[in-house]
Amino acid sequence: MLRTIPHRTVALFAAVAVAQLLDLVTFLPAVSRVGIGAESNPVASVLYRSLGPLGPTALKAAALAVMIMALIRVVQRFPTFVLPSAALVVGIGLFGAASNVLYGLLR
């Protein structure tokens, strides 16, 4: 039987999505400004070179789906670990966005 997800957990999922999408939204203009050579993720770099902006966008969408599914599983199995898990994923997204701004957009 499906259990309902508490509203605070939905807010955590939204924070995860916003942080990861902020990473993507800052990535695209940063790459257009400094070039894909500055990207440290080899998968995103190859996808950008072969598919253009659609490649990393699809990769980010897939990664975000996996993150949300993993967090749903954490909610179901280990509810006390949802906040630290979500905080880690939000932090990774914000770190990526900050890196894009500092090394791509403010250069």
User: 10 Å Cβ neighbour count for 89?
Assistant: 23
Task: List the one residue out of 14, 28, 95, 87 whose CA is nearest residue 60.
Answer: 28
Q: How would you label 11-26 residue by residue, b for 16+ Cβ within 10 Å and e otherwise?
A: ebbebbbebbebbbeb
**What residue segments make up the domains of the chain, in order of their start?**
7-105
pLDDT band for position 26 (cuts 50, 70, 90): very high
What is the pTM for the complete model shown? 0.89
Taking only the tens place, the pLDDT of each residue in 28-81 is 999 999 999 888 899 999 999 999 999 999 999 999 999 999 999 999 999 999
Q: Retrieve residue 55's tokens.
A: 């490649």
